[in-house]
Amino acid sequence: MSERVRIRFKRQGPMRYLGHLDMMRYFQKAVLKAGLDVKYTEGYHPHQIMAFAYPLAVGMETYGDYADIEFNTVNDPEEIVKKLNGVMREGTYATGAVLLPEKALNAMAAVEAADYEVIYDIPGCSCEEVKEASKRAVETLLSSESVTAGKSGKNIREGILFADVSFTEGENRLILKLLSGSKLNARPADVFNAFAEAFGERKAVSRLIRRLEIYGKNEQGELVPLGSEGVL
């Protein structure tokens, strides 16, 4: 009987420019190189049984993404982490693994929300001006009844669960918790654009978007990291 393992991983540096399909192929090759007992589909064109939680936009880093992989045998999920990290290139690392119960949803179906940070600059502003303007921009964003999502024009305000700013190591960060998934998907780039508009003539410019964590729900309906025990 096969078993599913949910692997948490991060991706940064040049590896963030891989598209979703390329990242899947990368993982498939890593599983083969690591000599793991992965399970394949049946039929004329068998392929590894693997599902990623939430496709990452090209150019975005991640510290907390997930992939579900089905194996014929699993002795220790952490041994899978060690073997994968032994063959993965610099910039992509497995950071944890859990054995999934049989009833658990696959990674993509389980996604409910995600945390992000957007590193940005405001050209022509001093540090103090940036801090004051950023705090006002967050207040404007959260008090808005409508936040437009790019070309679709959809209102994604309900999808913004949390927004704040922080200033560390000489960098300005917009911190976000956003609804993700089939019901309402709030993209960090769209939310940042709305945040930037609140600065008026001095626009904020995004330098990097990084996903920090992906959440599912437990039996109590609470948001919990996708790699937690008890996530549905």
Residue 33 pLDDT class (50, 70, 90 cuts)? very high
CATH number for the domain spanning 16: value is 3.30.70.580
The Cα 15–Cα 100 span in angstroms is 27
Q: Kindly report, residue by residue over 122-151, the tens digit of the pLDDT.
A: 887 777 888 888 999 999 999 999 988 877
Q: What is the pLDDT of residue 222?
A: 93
Domain boundary among 81, 110, 139: 110
230 within some domain: no
232 within some domain: no
Q: For residue 217, give both structure tokens.
A: 């729900």
Q: How many domains does the chain have?
A: 2
| In a shared domain, residues 62 and 125 | no
Domain boundary among 86, 110, 134: 110
As a whole-number percent, the residues of the chain with pLDDT over 90 amount to 64
| In a shared domain, residues 165 and 177 | yes
Overall average pLDDT of the 87-107 stretch: 91
123 within some domain: yes
| In a shared domain, residues 106 and 117 | no
Half-sphere exposure of 32 (CA within 13 A, CB side): 10
H-helix or E-strand spanning residue 27 = helix 20-33
| In a shared domain, residues 106 and 119 | no
Q: Kindly report, residue by residue over 168-203, the tens digit of the pLDDT.
A: 877 899 999 999 977 788 999 999 999 988 877 667
| In a shared domain, residues 10 and 49 | yes
- How many other β-carbons are positioned within 10 Å of the β-carbon of residue 46? 10
H-helix or E-strand spanning residue 33 = helix 20-33
Domain boundary among 110, 138, 154: 110
Give the dihedral of Cα atoms 67, 68, 70, 71; nearest 10 deg.
60
| In a shared domain, residues 85 and 37 | yes
3 state DSSP class of 214: strand
Q: For residue 54, give both structure tokens.
A: 């939430």
Domain limits for position 16: 3-110
| In a shared domain, residues 102 and 129 | no
Residue 204 pLDDT class (50, 70, 90 cuts)? confident
